[in-house]
Structure 1
Amino acid sequence: MFSPRGNINPVPTPPTTSNRWQIVTVAPHRLFFTLAAFQLFCSLAWWGVVLILGAQGKQLPATLPPRFGHSLLMIWGVFSFFIFGFLMTTWPRWIDAPPIPRRRYLWPAMIMTLGVVLIYVGLIVDQLLLLAGATTLAVGWSFGLVALLRVIPNRSGVVPLHIPLTATGLVVGLLSQIGFIAWLITWNPLLLRGAINFGFWPGLALIIITVSHRMIPFFSNSVIPDYRMVRPGWSIYFIAIGLAAHACYETLGWIEWRFLADLPLAVIALYLSSRWRLFSSFGVRLLAMLHIAFFWFAIGFILAALQSFAALMGFTDVFGYTPLHAVSIGGVASMAIGFATRVTLGHSGRPLKAGPLMWTLFLTLQLVAVIRVFGEIGSRLAPQIQTHYEFASALIWLVVAGVWLSQVVKIYLQPRIDGRPG
């Protein structure tokens, strides 16, 4: 088609399969976030089926108790893709280093994906396949860790404290996976408790909170008027120590003394949320997502401290998994979605604005966290509601994950709209 000036106006054509592969693998966040979106949806779908069958008195064929499979998938099989997608994008920027070459993030992503596929099959068919899947996932994780560490020698800037802390979280995450693999071989319950607790608290949660400590003040500084960046180094170090201590107390079953870790964590999280000006962020939805998610950490730590105090006074099993789900859904999941949405928009050349749909999805995820928290508390008084609130929260979260997937993946499969690389 010719314009009046004689120039050719090309008619846009949909990318071919090979072109889509090149587009989705052109940057680490595209590849890892695509896999994260699909894996989040698949893991929630699997969990939903487990809950539906359980409500009917039936069981999905399983080689492992479903709750252990749920922990395996959520801690290492879902959020690991979010973590590597974000860190492989930001680490080079934080220390002024060249971007990570394509081959160095492609291999970890593919190996981890293979591991997750084997885990799904192994959870239903055979424990050896489950063991192979968990091992493969750990191998892919280690490849990703090495790819990140190779960025450091090529830096031209100062290494901020957030890099060694996120690296520590990745190492703890890898060691916890090895612990889970060892449990699959030995069935030692201490290995299972240690793997889950260390994999989540000083592993996954530490990474998410450390990234928040660096990025929330940075993003807020460019949006909130008269903002002063507050990122005290002591706070994140104390958080790291507190998360490790929480995992130790939890693993050893010393719940009544866990408040020694949980109470300082709650105080520090509240202090940071206040200094970062939580309420001032509400005028910018994309920023508010991050502030709201971080406030959930404070809520979770407060609930954990109260649970520990109750145990000290002789009241066992108060709140159940309430603190865990306040942190995991309200904090970790909300922050992962918030950061991934921001990176997706910014690195595709789109305006950094959360539209009505994205904002609704985020608020609906907050509803999931609220249902999970209050449902857990309510089930202590009325055990018959447990199946209902678990299913309701899983179903709503599945819908959120499905709609979010449909929105972000189509962006990952298209080039940047501003014509820039990445």
Structure 2
Amino acid sequence: MSGRTTRPQPWRWARLLETPQRLCFAAAALLLAGSGLWWCLALLAAQQGWPLHWQLPPAMVHGLLMTLGPMPLFFAGFMFTAVPRWLDLPTPPARSLLEPLLAQLCGWAALLLAAHGGSPSLGRALGAIGLAAVAWGWSGMLWRFAALLRASEAADRTHARALLGAGSVGALCLWASSAALLVGEFALLRALNLVALWGFIGASFAAALHRMLPVFAAACPGWSERQPLWGLWAWLGLCAVEASTALWTWPPLALALALLEAAAGTGVLLLAWRWARVQTLGLRLIAMLWTGWCWLGLALLLSAASAWLPLGRAPLHAYALGFLGTSLLAMASRVSSTQAGRSVAADDATWGLFWVLQLVALARIGAALAPTLLLSAAIGWAGIALAFLLRHGRWWGLPRAGSGRPPLTSCSLPTPT
């Protein structure tokens, strides 16, 4: 019997259409790396005194991109690959998401063009059209996801409904942001960005992590199959309060909000301490998720302290880079590894990116007191995003490792026997 060597399979664009996860994650990672490099170059130009024309406020464009750019596309990859399994439904074809996905990518490209070209009025008009295209694309994805919910007869659809509700908040924020940009209401745009950060992004993470954390921790003894639903409602309630105060503030309520954040942050850290007692944090994926959870508690405590101390944007970036960034890296790496047929989610490369991200988060928080750290944090974030794109982008265009079977539709860990 003559031995035959197997030729490596070439990378193909067509394989991005094999599952929604591959298609949406590839687009999200491309947008994440592109926006990170753009912001890094913008800060470098400002530091060096290079002429860079701005027709829209740089911080506003950066906030919109970081909040509503890659995150919804990562969510879509998860919602149309893992969530159908929760709903006892087959995975929908990735091609059905291609049109709304391209609308979102083109919309963000239009916003970046609007930020640097033409006149301020033209910039506002083109940027508003771009945001409307993003809103239309995301609304189209939500419509398809709602159809899955309507078709499902699964007994437990709570988390999927929470994802749909959070996504609807995001769609409303995008449509409202388009109108606000058109008329030049930049203060309203900043408020809508914070609403989306908590009411959309934060609430989506709450729904996904509440459902998935017991699954991710299934390889460790001492963890129950399901968490009680009161934890989900409390988390979503906190997101609703934070989103509401971004739109409407009343000075007498500022102290009450600070006390609520202090209590919530303390509760989160107490849960993290309990989690560390019953989990094996030596498992890298578990340690990454645990660290993200600790960042959430720290962000809430910093936000509470900012009622008395001049902390600037430190609480915001502890939440966005620390909690959201770390949790996204852990979950996206796990989903991508499973889909690619790889047994180890948090290998040495992912573990290295995780530690660089912790340094970047600390640098961005420290920039509230030492602004010279801002460029270093931007360079670090751009490097993480680019490394994630190059590493996982190779997987998304290759066949699933180890077999000729199609990619999996689950991102769960095996339950120990």
Instruction: Say yes or no: TM over 0.5.
Output: yes
C-alpha distance in structure 2 between counterparts of 1:408 and 1:367, whole Å? 22
Shift of 1:303: 0.9
> Residue in 1 aligned with 2:413?
none
> Residue in 1 aligned with 2:205?
208
> Residue in 2 aligned with 1:241?
237
> Residue in 1 aligned with 2:384?
400
> Residue in 2 aligned with 1:123?
115
**Secondary structure at 1:299 match in 2:** helix
Q: Pick the aligned partner of 1:96 from 64, 88, 92.
A: 88
When residues 47 and 90 of structure 1 are mapped into structure 2, their CA distance, relative to the original with a 3 A threshold, is same
Deviations 1:337-359 (A, max 9, x none): 11110011111111134221210
> Residue in 2 aligned with 1:331?
323
CA contact (8 A) 2:314 2:364 kept: yes
**Secondary structure at 2:279 match in 1:** helix
> Residue in 2 aligned with 1:420?
405
Where does 1:121-200 land on structure 2 (aligned, <5 Å)?
Answer: 121-126=113-118, 127=123, 128-189=125-186, 191-200=188-197
> Residue in 1 aligned with 2:7?
12
> Residue in 1 aligned with 2:106?
114
Shift of 1:390: 0.6
C-alpha distance in structure 2 between counterparts of 1:160 and 1:275, whole Å? 28
CA contact (8 A) 1:98 1:154 kept: no
C-alpha distance in structure 2 between counterparts of 1:393 and 1:406, whole Å? 20
**Secondary structure at 1:282 match in 2:** coil
Shift of 1:264: 4.2
When residues 164 and 73 of structure 1 are mapped into structure 2, their CA distance, relative to the original with a 3 A threshold, is same
CA contact (8 A) 2:195 2:246 kept: no
C-alpha distance in structure 2 between counterparts of 1:272 and 1:98, whole Å? 35
When residues 279 and 55 of structure 1 are mapped into structure 2, their CA distance, relative to the original with a 3 A threshold, is farther
Which letter maps to 2:220?
Answer: I
Which letter maps to 1:226?
Answer: G
Which letter maps to 2:7?
Answer: P
Shift of 1:229: 4.2
1:286 is aligned to 2:285: yes
CA contact (8 A) 2:211 2:226 kept: no
When residues 336 and 155 of structure 1 are mapped into structure 2, their CA distance, relative to the original with a 3 A threshold, is same
1:342 is aligned to 2:341: no
Shift of 1:13: 5.7
> Residue in 2 aligned with 1:296?
295
> Residue in 1 aligned with 2:415?
none
Q: Quick check: 298-307 or 190-199, which moved more?
A: 190-199
> Residue in 1 aligned with 2:393?
409
C-alpha distance in structure 2 between counterparts of 1:275 and 1:161, whole Å? 26
C-alpha distance in structure 2 between counterparts of 1:188 and 1:109, whole Å? 27
CA contact (8 A) 2:103 2:137 kept: yes
Which letter maps to 2:349?
Answer: L
Where does 1:7-46 land on structure 2 (aligned, <5 Å)?
Answer: 9=4, 11-12=6-7, 14-15=9-10, 20-46=12-38
Shift of 1:34: 0.9
**Secondary structure at 1:283 match in 2:** coil
Shift of 1:295: 1.7
C-alpha distance in structure 2 between counterparts of 1:415 and 1:4, whole Å? 25
> Residue in 1 aligned with 2:412?
none
Deviations 1:346-385 (A, max 9, x none): 1111113422121011111011111111331xx2xxxxx3
When residues 109 and 189 of structure 1 are mapped into structure 2, their CA distance, relative to the original with a 3 A threshold, is closer
C-alpha distance in structure 1 between counterparts of 2:186 and 2:244, whole Å? 14
C-alpha distance in structure 2 between counterparts of 1:70 and 1:278, whole Å? 39
Q: Quick check: 167-176 or 154-163, which moved more?
A: 154-163
Q: Pick the aligned partner of 1:220 from 214, 217, 222.
A: 217
Structure 2 stretches lacking a partner, 5+ long: 408-417
When residues 101 and 353 of structure 1 are mapped into structure 2, their CA distance, relative to the original with a 3 A threshold, is closer
Which letter maps to 2:296?
Answer: F
When residues 265 and 104 of structure 1 are mapped into structure 2, their CA distance, relative to the original with a 3 A threshold, is farther
| Greater RCO (CA < 8 Å, at least 6 residues apart) | 2
**Secondary structure at 1:226 match in 2:** coil
**Secondary structure at 2:367 match in 1:** helix
1:85 is aligned to 2:80: no
> Residue in 1 aligned with 2:373?
389
Shift of 1:199: 0.8
Q: TM-score, normalised by structure 1?
A: 0.89
**Secondary structure at 2:287 match in 1:** helix
C-alpha distance in structure 2 between counterparts of 1:401 and 1:78, whole Å? 11
User: How many matched pairs?
Assistant: 398
Which letter maps to 1:244?
Answer: A
When residues 141 and 237 of structure 1 are mapped into structure 2, their CA distance, relative to the original with a 3 A threshold, is same
C-alpha distance in structure 2 between counterparts of 1:76 and 1:202, whole Å? 12
